Amino acid sequence: MIPPEFQPAKRAEWPGGAACAVMLCFDVDGETVALSEGATYGSHRSFLSMCRYGPEVGAPRLLDLFAHYRLPATFFVPAHVAGGHPGLVRRIVAEGHELGLHGDRHEKLTALSRPREEAVLDRSLEVLERVAGVRPSGHRAPWFATNPWTPEVLVSRGLDYSASEMGDDVPYLHDNGLVEIPGQWAMEDWEQFAFHPEPAIGFQPAGHDKVLRMWWDEYLAAKRVGGCYVLTMHPFLMGRPAKVRLLEDLLRRILEDGGAWIARGREIADWARRGTGTPTGESV
């Protein structure tokens, strides 16, 4: 006899009795992806133009989409991009979205010494606060690559949360009290759509039906376990017209389902810090 369907334990409780939390976030890398991969402004013009599409075309289109549905998002922006596209950064803040840190030129932190990582973080804070008029409280490491000392460096600069690791289905605390909002590679558009032949990035682009099905299945699974659904996107990819339609289809399904708390990173981190977003039965 077949036993009843397995019911996994709920990992967390969410505001208003929501079945899961949803964090919709964008890494607005702009040309820093090309620069961090060795491209220069005197060469690799196709690569640079593909990356610039993000802040110049893709991000404004995505902001229009989120304004249409009145949904909040979190935008992690490198300092180099914020300085080069101040109007976009100010629009992100003016429309009620969260602005987060994402390095200066998309540096891989694991290639940096601690003093150099601290210098990059200090510059990132200075530029974003000067351009946007607000001080970010969240950080995503470029390439999701962190050092053992990264949480300590972030807390020393007054940051509240990181969104760089993948160690759980719900937010958790580092030893120093920093909140981690974990993601996963399957919930990234890069692995699905990024491609450039030289310098070589990405893979063979996936079909939209496959990606929509996978991301919807991940949402249903997050509801089942009371998880935190973190969708990480890049405007140079998801800002393309067909990808915007894919994202809209996903958002409409989530909204019609009605089981999600859609929130900015800082709100999810605050909920977790109060103990209500951490794994059920564990205290902080």
Token pair 């699905």 is at which residue? 192
For 81-105, the pLDDT digits (tens) are 999 999 999 999 999 999 999 999 9
Q: How sure is the predictor about 195, in pLDDT bands with cuts at 50, 70 and 90?
A: confident
For 222-256, the pLDDT digits (tens) are 999 999 999 999 999 999 999 999 999 999 999 99
Q: Looking at the predicted structure, is the pLDDT value of residue 42 above 70?
A: no
Q: How far is CA 28 from CA 18, 41, 88, 106, 216, in A?
A: 29, 19, 10, 10, 23
Q: Has this prediction a pTM greater than 0.85? A: yes
- Asked if 274 contacts 8 with a C-beta cutoff of 8 angstroms, the reply is no
Angle at 116 between CA 112 and CA 118, to 5 degrees: 115
pLDDT at 276: 62
For 114-146, the pLDDT digits (tens) are 999 999 999 999 999 999 999 999 999 999 999
SS3 257: helix
* Separation of CA 269 from chain center: 13
Q: What is the CA radius of gyration of the chain?
A: 18
pLDDT at 284: 28
**pLDDT (mean) for 65-73:** 98
Q: How far apart are CA 250 and CA 253, in angstroms?
A: 5
pLDDT at 253: 98
Helix (H) or strand (E) holding 173: strand 172-173
Strand intervals (E) in 28-77: 74-77
Per CATH, the architecture of 15-273 is what?
Alpha-Beta Barrel (3.20)
Q: Looking at the predicted structure, is the pLDDT value of residue 202 above 50?
A: yes
Q: How far apart are CA 49 and CA 73, in angstroms?
A: 25
Q: How far apart are CA 138 and CA 158, in angstroms?
A: 10
For the chain, the structural domain boundaries read 15-273
pLDDT at 280: 43
pLDDT at 48: 87
**pLDDT (mean) for 65-89:** 98
For 10-39, the pLDDT digits (tens) are 999 999 999 999 999 999 999 998 887 776
DSSP 8-state class, residue 110:
G
pLDDT at 282: 37
Q: How far apart are CA 139 and CA 222, in angstroms?
A: 23
Q: Report the 10 Å Cβ neighbour count for 157.
A: 15
pLDDT at 117: 98
Q: Looking at the predicted structure, is the pLDDT value of residue 200 above 60?
A: yes
Q: Looking at the predicted structure, is the pLDDT value of residue 281 above 80?
A: no
**Share above pLDDT 90 across residues of the chain, in percent, rounded to a whole number:** 85
